[in-house]
Structure 1
Amino acid sequence: MDFKQIQELVKMVNKSNISELSIEQDKFKITIKQKDNEPQQIITVPAVSAPVQTVAQVAPVAQAVPVAEAAAPKAAEAKAADNLVTIKSPMIGTFYRSPGPDKPSFVNVGDDVAPGKVVCIIEAMKLFNEIESEVGGRIVKVLVDDASPVEYDQPLFLVEP
């Protein structure tokens, strides 16, 4: 294990709610502990995403519809996106929607989730970590492709509470 991997582990532990992490490989052993602070409160803020449009698509609409009427659908979309909760990645790794290649996905669009239900797996350093939902609701969108790399705090799912 090289120094850069150790730095990434320290960053991952600091940014997560893991209090202690121990890894043993051959003749190498490392233990990373977080100092005990006050309990942390995790607040998830929904991400507002607007559809991407090209200038060619926008120009004819802008000429045909008055400005006040064109703004109304965008306001409705923003309001609809405001009530969505984002499930984010608690670590760096590889995102998997199912427990195995021939197994069904943990959740699909339209499925109901409850707090504690496993929604995906993230593989980090050959360890498979089950990621559980912290909110209850219905999956509206899966934001990451299966078997793709994810970063810490990257949005994975949009949930309608």
Structure 2
Amino acid sequence: MDIKEIQSLIKFVAKSGASEVKLETDDIKITIRTGGSGGSGETTYVQQIPMPAQAMPQMGAAQPAAPATPAPAEPKKESEEDSKYITIKSPIIGTFYRKPSPDKPSFVEVGDTISKGDVLCVIEAMKLFNDIESEVSGKIVKVLVDDSSPVEFDQPLFLIDPS
């Protein structure tokens, strides 16, 4: 987890109104406490910790932990082809929406050319709708998540061809 992802998490917690969120992964433990719904008094504690192999990443105070399921093995050929693309990942957990509302068209489709700052999708988290903007320019190669599906933090959403 890099500093940009941690900053995104802090912003999300401040906007959500939650008073405390804990996140634990294999090598990092983060606790974010806010001083109230105004977002003032944020404190972040990050600690590198060794965890047992069977420990599962868990988000406290926001959602119950889901049972661990092994990821399906992808064919090697496909991942070699995808390596030339940029992967846009979810900065937060929530529900992925391709459209701004049910009666509107999708933000982007496969084959669309996008610019840096274009809205790609919306992720709803705790009744807040967060626009997910592209950090690169390019062409949408693949949409990796179905509309109205739950997404996890750092889950791949789109493949972008930067050329």
Same fold by TM (over 0.5)? yes
Report how far residue 95 of structure 1 moved.
Answer: 0.2
Query: Matches of 1:17 and 1:150 in 2, distance apart?
Result: 15
Larger radius of gyration: 1
Q: Which residue of 2 aligns with 1:101?
A: 102
Instruction: Could you tell me which runs of 5 or more consecutive residues in structure 1 were left unpaired when the two chains were aligned.
Output: 1-12, 36-48, 53-73
Q: Which residue of 2 aligns with 1:158?
A: 159
Q: Which residue of 2 aligns with 1:16?
A: 8
Higher fraction of helix: 1
TM-score, normalization: structure 1? 0.59
Q: Which residue of 1 aligns with 2:56?
A: none
From the superposition, tell whether residues 82 and 100 of structure 1 become closer, same or farther in structure 2 (CA, over 3 Å): same
Report how far residue 80 of structure 1 moved.
Answer: 3.1
Query: Matches of 1:18 and 1:114 in 2, distance apart?
Result: 26
Q: Which residue of 2 aligns with 1:4?
A: none
Report how far residue 96 of structure 1 moved.
Answer: 0.2
Query: Matches of 2:43 and 2:100 in 1, distance apart?
Result: 30
Q: Which residue of 1 aligns with 2:130?
A: 129
Q: Which residue of 1 aligns with 2:42?
A: 33
Report how far residue 108 of structure 1 moved.
Answer: 0.3
Q: RMSD between aligned alpha carbons?
A: 2.8
Q: Which residue of 1 aligns with 2:69?
A: none
Query: Deviations for 1:97-130, whole angstroms, at most 9, x for unmatched residues?
Result: 0000010000000001111000000000000000
Query: Deviations for 1:24-55, whole angstroms, at most 9, x for unmatched residues?
Result: 8xxxx4436256xxxxxxxxxxxxx9548xxx
Matched residue SS, 2:100 = coil
Query: Matches of 2:113 and 2:43 in 1, distance apart?
Result: 34
Give 1:40-79 correspondences, 5 Å limit.
50-51=74-75, 74=77, 79=80
Identity of aligned residues (%): 58
The size of the alignment, in residue pairs, is 110
Give 1:79-90 correspondences, 5 Å limit.
79-90=80-91
Report how far residue 81 of structure 1 moved.
Answer: 2.0
TM-score, normalization: structure 2? 0.58
